[in-house]
Amino acid sequence: MLPPSFIESLAGTGLDAAGRDALCRTLEAGETPVSVRFNPYKLAERPEGEGVPWNRYGFYLAERPRFTLDPLFHAGVYYVQEASSMFLEHIYRSLFGEGERLRILDLCAAPGGKSTLLATAAGLESVVVANEVIRARALTLADNIRKWGLGNVAVTSNDPSHFGALEHWFDLIAVDAPCSGEGMFRKNPEATAQWSPQAVELCAGRQRRILSEVWSALRPGGILIYSTCTFNRRENEENVAWLVENYDCEGVRIETDPAWGIVRGEVPAGEGVPVPVFRFFPHAVRGEGFFCAVIRKAEGRVRTRLSKPRRTVFTEATRQEQASLRPWFGQPEFMHFVRIGDQMYGYYEEAYPAVREVAERLSVLYSGVHAGQLYHGKLKPEHPLALFHDLAREAVPQAELGETAALGYLRRGDIPADGLAEGMNLVCFEGVPLGWIKRIGNRTNNLYPKELRIQNL
């Protein structure tokens, strides 16, 4: 049962009485569409299925499978993401061209849907800083970034106020703010039970604090995408209006296809371009409830100003270390190799300076490609290198496993030595890498990370 106060609040969303009734019936029905977004760096051809109209790589599934039992899910071939939130790619493509090198912040990033989307859209020479303040959620975020395997993301765990150390630094900031979750009522019944007008007010205040604290990190002329998964105006249009009133900004023009079913609106911005807002209502689109606004920071002084580095993180790889690492990367000429402690990492050359600036000022949990440790000039590879999209396959022998054996590997079970080469092997399923295994005589050492193993189901 939907809370009466929530039903009353829908009068401010722009829906007429019939639309509000249709929305409430849809939320109470509890039937949710299933959508995923495939990784074009790991899957050359689009899978079969109805496409999500506002995202090149999104498509719907006829039913929800057991993703945990699909090796391709663990290989980072696709990401399970709610369709409405995939609209972020349409916004990105409307504003930025192919090949632009951008500095992007996904401020409230866990579990990683928008971060992996932005990393894909922006290209490998851009940098996406994926931040999550709650450390446990940040660790899950880091796992999903490693699985996606592009190498252009730095995962941080910082309060929004910490990004003042990167003043005027980001070209694009996405704030998918913590909210009252009205748009997820049919997907998460607990959100319905926890909803209250007081919770809405609490969320609205927290969202304004987040926006005010991160605003200085956006460069003049940069873009802020503000989004929630809720319906009420208090957390949506009113917060956008507050931002326009208190900061020098305006909207940008974003075109959409009327056939998509998205409800468009706008928030006035004085004499500037009104801020476009987009509402996704589950009774009108094939997706959950979603709201977003696109805001441009006023042009002005664009010099990036950085605080002094707090630490030195990276040590440049020696020539000998580089020589040992280069055979593991498909295009090593584009990579920059460094050492962190006794571990070797690879970064795209064009993106490395930006990653270094972030790592010297914020709490970085993971970045680039963790290659592994060198012993007497020989690399002991780590799991993220196996999932890196540009791993040099010829670096080690490959072991192709069928579905049953692949699931056994993902459970960290014993894998027979037959068919494996002596030493390190790359385990693959349908040609896509899953991780490493080492043959030592007649036995094998399953090197799939313990913390990622599939529990017996």
Whether 229 sits among the annotated catalytic residues: the reply is yes
Q: Give the up-direction half-sphere exposure of residue 17: CA atoms within 13 A in the CB hemisphere.
A: 0
Q: Give the up-direction half-sphere exposure of residue 36: CA atoms within 13 A in the CB hemisphere.
A: 20
Contact between 127 and 97 under an 8 Å Cβ cutoff? The reply is no
Give the whole-angstrom CA distance, residue 15 versus residue 7.
Answer: 12
Scanning the structure block, which residue is given the tokens 């970045």?
367
User: Which tokens sit at 34?
Assistant: 């299933």
Give the whole-angstrom CA distance, residue 304 versus residue 24.
Answer: 47
Of 372, 376, 379, 434, which Cα lies nearest the Cα of 401?
434
Give the whole-angstrom CA distance, residue 455 versus residue 411.
Answer: 6
- Tell me the residue ranges of DSSP E strands in 144-248: 153-156, 166-167, 170-176, 218-228
Cβ neighbours for 3, distance < 8 A, ≥ 6 positions apart: 192, 195, 196
Give the whole-angstrom CA distance, residue 401 versus residue 415.
Answer: 10
Contact between 281 and 19 under an 8 Å Cβ cutoff? The reply is yes
Tell me which of 229, 249, 292, 428 is the catalytic residue: 229
Which residues, in sequence order, are bridge partners of residue 275? 267
Scanning the structure block, which residue is given the tokens 């900061």?
247
Is the peptide bond preceding residue 433 cis, with omega within 30 degrees of 0?
A: no
Cβ neighbours for 252, distance < 8 A, ≥ 6 positions apart: 95, 223, 273, 276, 294, 295, 296
Which residues are known catalytic residues? 229
